[in-house]
Amino acid sequence: MIGIRLSLIALVLFLAGNSVPHSPLLGSPRQQPQAAHTVALGESRADSAIVASPAFSDKELTALPTSGWLKNGGNLFNQNYSPLTQINRQNVASLKAVWRTHLDGSGLKPKYSGEAQPVVHEGVIYVVTGADDVFAMRVETGELLWTHHANLDDTITTVCCGWTSRGVALGEGKVYVGQLDGRLVALDQRSGEPAWSIQAERWQNGYTITAAPLYYNGMIVVGFAGGENGTRGRVKAYDAKDGHLIWTFYTVPGPGEVGHDTWPQDTNAWLHGGATVWQTPAVDPELGLIYFTTGNPGPDFNGKIRAGDNLFSTSMVAIDARTGKYRWHFQQVHHDLWDYDGPNPVILFDVNVNGRLRKAAAEANKAGWVYILDRITGKPLIGIDEKPVPQEPRQATSATQPVPRGDAFVPHSVDIAPEDFPLVNQGRIFTPFWKEAIVAKPGARGGANWPPSSYDPTTNYFYVCATDAANLFKGGEDDQQITPEGQRYLGSAFGGAPIPASGIFAALDMKTNRLVWQQRWKDSCYSGSVTTAGGLVFTGRNDGRLTALNSSTGKRLWEFQTGAGLNAPASVFEYEGEQYVVAYSAGSLFAGSPRGDSVWLFSLKGTLERADPPSATALPSTAPARVAAER
């Protein structure tokens, strides 16, 4: 993960979590945080206004969302697609806000990012902030029904890339949230009171939870972040009723397991090999498989200490949903040296390829390609070719890299050398490096990062929010030691380059993996997208706008200023015959966007005018005990 300059990157990686470049002493005294607590805020009892969720069936969770938005990504396929058409290309210009609700000033400090997609069930919206505080509010009015304050320990030092949470899960009458302190918490959906809470992993060992948990088949499936902290990646499944552990899948295989031979056999580098999981997995209930992609190997920039392909880092992996056992993998980047990992959620769909209907799994990653696989076998559907790449023996580089057929959605070279930085290999992708810095594209901040992509099953168009950014790559240490869990493990430092980054929003046809349209933004693209049967794609902007694009051409048809960076994907649903769009406007550390604490609801019957642009907005510094919805 990245910034524009080395000094900024150090600030992002270390100060974003109040962290320092070394592990805290676990036995050292520290201020005790306040205990988590829940406050009922509605005028009437919150539990009388909230319908508890059932143990959702496979059918309910795979269906295209209509009367609600039951999970992060919309359905188990993570398609972020709505079949609703009431709001469409012809009338979207009339879309206005129905209400705006402030979230008690939660997540306003610079270290926080607001990146959570709202979840909607039976007339109630659930949102989590970057502080892991969870809010429930009425669709009709925006009235807050209850609030659960996590009261995270401010001295947590192992958070990478901003304090954030990307959503909650619903099921069996509970709201599930993963926290930055490594806890997994189940809240009673009607009251917000904790039903159970477990220490899933310890933040002191480098593990945090940033992705929305997945509810499926009575389980809560969670991936853990922490790839820059000397960790060994893992995905775990817990019982939704009481939180007991069901299975664990390690994303870096141990001795005797498939892929262990891709790590040095004479060290324990594999125990600190990273390959962490930044997103909510997808599920195919018919096949009984869970799909996710993984982060970079550790250390990020020093391949010498970890010779080999380093499975299952920077890979798409399928595991058995019931047991967590390995089924297949496809590695997108061998022996990754560039932080070209896969934080974007996997999307599942069926598509006609060469006259045959195929079951596909696809993911857009930071290398700038969409990798399209057969989700039964893990083999490429359209073709991914192993191509020779430049070598650097000191980095133990891979001789070849997988290159998908079709189009990249961001540039893969630098056209003109930036001042003071001579170009090596024209700054092309997979250019190796050692201790002397080189400039190349994509940067570690480039390509598709965590903001979720979306997919339209009627057109087979895949929509990607990405960034065109070069990187100053520098790394390698002759005598680097393997780092204990919980300490930074980079092998160098993240670096920007003196070339301004810009956003790329693109549509690709999944029948061919070719671009349909592509547009450049003046700032980075750091918000996910949702597409609809009304011919629209909703996506946010760093300057506070929520926008609606023509899904066929990319033309902007509507925009609305929300007053803070719109860096979370919107959700689309119908309630009592009216179609709504709901979005969380709170800003993001990595986007460098202004902070806020607002949830906005939109419809064609809305009357609330847009907010002032963030530069003219005085954001609240303290939160009142109760915040009423603006109308």
Looking at the 3D structure of the chain, how many domains does it have? 1
Q: Rounded distance, CA 71 to CA 443, Å?
A: 31
Q: Is residue 535 part of a domain?
A: yes
pLDDT of residue 624: 30
pLDDT of residue 568: 98
Residue 617 has pLDDT above 50, yes or no: no
Whether the link from the prior residue into 299 is cis, omega within 30° of 0, is: yes
473 alpha carbon, distance to own chain's centre: 24
pLDDT above 90 covers what percent of the chain? 83
Residue 628 has pLDDT above 90, yes or no: no
pLDDT of residue 249: 98
Q: Is residue 631 part of a domain?
A: no
pLDDT of residue 440: 96
Residue 277 has pLDDT above 80, yes or no: yes
pLDDT of residue 495: 77
How many beta carbons lie within 10 A of that of residue 261, not counting itself? 14
Higher pLDDT, residue 475 or 520: 520
pLDDT of residue 45: 56
Prediction pTM value:
0.93
pLDDT of residue 49: 83
Q: Is residue 1 part of a domain?
A: no
The CATH code of the domain that includes 448 is 2.140.10.10
Residue 27 has pLDDT above 70, yes or no: no
Residue 13 has pLDDT above 80, yes or no: no
- Give the β-pairing of 529-532 and 514-521: unpaired
Q: Is residue 211 part of a domain?
A: yes
Q: Is residue 602 part of a domain?
A: yes
pLDDT of residue 6: 33
Residue 28 in tokens: 């050292």
Q: Is residue 483 part of a domain?
A: yes
pLDDT above 70 covers what percent of the chain? 91
Q: What are the pLDDT digits (tens) for 361-386?
A: 999 999 999 999 999 999 999 999 99
Residue 629 has pLDDT above 70, yes or no: no
| Confidence band of 1 (pLDDT split at 50, 70, 90) | very low
| Confidence band of 435 (pLDDT split at 50, 70, 90) | confident
Strands across the sheet containing 370-374 = 347-353, 356-364, 370-374
Residue length of the chain: 631
Q: Give the DSSP letter string of 139-151.
A: TTT--EEEEEE--
Mean per-residue pLDDT over the chain, rounded: 91
Q: What are the pLDDT digits (tens) for 455-475?
A: 999 999 999 999 999 999 988
Residue 325 has pLDDT above 60, yes or no: yes
Residue 479 has pLDDT above 90, yes or no: no
Report the pLDDT averaged over residues 15-27.
Answer: 33
| Confidence band of 422 (pLDDT split at 50, 70, 90) | confident
- What range defines the domain where residue 381 resides? 6-26+36-616
Report the pLDDT averaged over residues 466-486.
Answer: 89
Residue 544 in tokens: 């506070």
Q: Is residue 628 part of a domain?
A: no
Residues 6+ apart with CB under 8 A from 404: 369, 370, 371, 372, 380, 382, 383, 384, 513
Q: Is residue 466 part of a domain?
A: yes
> Burial, 5: exposed, middle or buried (Cβ in 10 Å; 0-12, 13-18, 19+)?
middle
| Confidence band of 396 (pLDDT split at 50, 70, 90) | very high
For the ranges 2-16, 159-173, 241-255, 527-541, the lowest mean pLDDT is seen at 2-16
pLDDT of residue 221: 98
pLDDT of residue 483: 87
Q: Rounded distance, CA 438 to CA 418, Å?
A: 11
pLDDT of residue 40: 73
pLDDT of residue 445: 87
Q: What are the pLDDT digits (tens) for 104-138?
A: 999 999 999 999 999 999 999 999 999 999 999 99
428-to-65, 336, 364, 425, 494 alpha-carbon distances in Å: 41, 15, 19, 6, 18
